[in-house]
Amino acid sequence: MAQRWNYTRGLKDIGNGLYAWLQPDGGWGWSNAGLIVDGGQSLLVDTLFDMKLTADMLKAMGDATGLSPDDIGVIVNTHANGDHTHGNGCCQHAEIIASEASAREMEDVNPALLAQLLKMAPGMGSAGAYFSEIFGMFDFAGVTERAPTRTFSGRLDLKVGDKAVELIEVGPAHTAGDVLVHVPSDRTVFTGDILFIDGTPLMWAGPVSNWIRACDRICEMDVDVIVPGHGPITDKAGVRRVADYLNYIDAEARKRFDAGMEVREAALDIALGDYASWGDAERIAVNVDTLYREYRGDGIVTPALGLFALMADTRDAMRNRRVHEKRSS
């Protein structure tokens, strides 16, 4: 089913008033979004990392549907990360819905802070260089913020025209308040960052068991079109692959935690196998750090800049190891 849509940048017509907006390669900041249209009403699933990217997406959606940005009735932010929220200001009249946990989290990392960090990055060592490399092409300074105007916990049922739309909170997992957007009549679900397809999942929040349960919940749905937060449109085999990665990393990290390894040592020691081909493999360092926090049970969160430095260091070590292995072969 997922093979019907090529993974190229732009708008994909899923059918029956549903659309997906895809942004290869699905790496840092290159997120997907969705649109549901019926009976003169519309719901936008997520916006993009800056206003220009979102405006380009909305123009393409308008060309396909006749809707202007001012016509968008509802935006659902699947979680708090800016690559799914910073374009909210492009739709000035839309109701913006998010989980309560996501709304609280959005207050912590705003676009002005990201713009300031990019300015400071040259003096921030390896973390700054990594931060500039992955985020330097986005315009955080030009973002006009719009926060959620409506929040919920657990589940919220909506109607878009005659279409029933289910908002299902499955976080904390990737972030504090992840939400699935399910359209039962069209056998489609927009997952936000519960799914990274062909990219390494990034566990800011955890616990890992919640994320695995979210994958299981998607597999239990009567759906055959699954639009991830990053990567190509997928099917249940793709969902199970994400769950397999999470189960594997959990098991391997636990062994190394019990053996007394530090986070960096453990992250580099875990053999990624086929997962090594997924984008941004260095995110394993954050995943291990989050798992260690869960194992310790102390709730102590590593500061974000520390995590970016850890990923930068991990990526460099991975690259050096590949060069050494190639020379030795």
For the chain, the distance separating the N- and C-terminal CA atoms, rounded to the nearest angstrom, is 40
- What gap in Å lies between CA 210 and CA 266, rounded to an integer? 22
Q: Are 175 and 263 spatial neighbours (Cβ–Cβ below 8 Å)?
A: no
Give the mean model confidence (pLDDT) for residues 222-231.
Answer: 98
Model confidence at 3, in pLDDT bands (50, 70, 90)? low
Residue 4: the pLDDT is 80
Among 14-28, 92-106, 115-129, name the one with the lowest average pLDDT: 115-129
**pLDDT for 325 beyond 80:** no
Q: Are 170 and 210 spatial neighbours (Cβ–Cβ below 8 Å)?
A: yes
CATH homologous superfamily of 2-110+137-257 equals: Ribonuclease Z/Hydroxyacylglutathione hydrolase-like (3.60.15.10)
Q: Are 238 and 195 spatial neighbours (Cβ–Cβ below 8 Å)?
A: yes
Whole-structure pTM value: 0.96
* More confidently predicted of 244 and 322: 244
**pLDDT for 226 beyond 70:** yes
Q: Are 140 and 86 spatial neighbours (Cβ–Cβ below 8 Å)?
A: yes
Residue 171: which of 183, 184, 150, 153 has the closest Cα?
153
- What gap in Å lies between CA 94 and CA 84, rounded to an integer? 15
Per-residue pLDDT tens over the stretch 131-158? 999 999 999 999 998 999 999 999 999 9
Give the mean model confidence (pLDDT) for residues 9-34.
Answer: 98
**Where would I find the H helices in the chain?**
51-65, 100-106, 111-120, 125-135, 208-220, 236-258, 263-269, 284-296, 304-328
Q: Is 163 helix (H, G, I), strand (E, B) or coil?
A: strand
Residue 177: the pLDDT is 98
Residue 2: the pLDDT is 54
Mean pLDDT of the chain: 95
Using the 8-state DSSP alphabet, how is residue 302 labeled? P
Give the mean model confidence (pLDDT) for residues 209-220.
Answer: 98
**pLDDT for 1 beyond 80:** no
Domain boundaries, the chain: 2-110+137-257
Output the DSSP codes for 116-141.
Answer: HHHHHGGGSHHHHHHHHHHHTTS--T
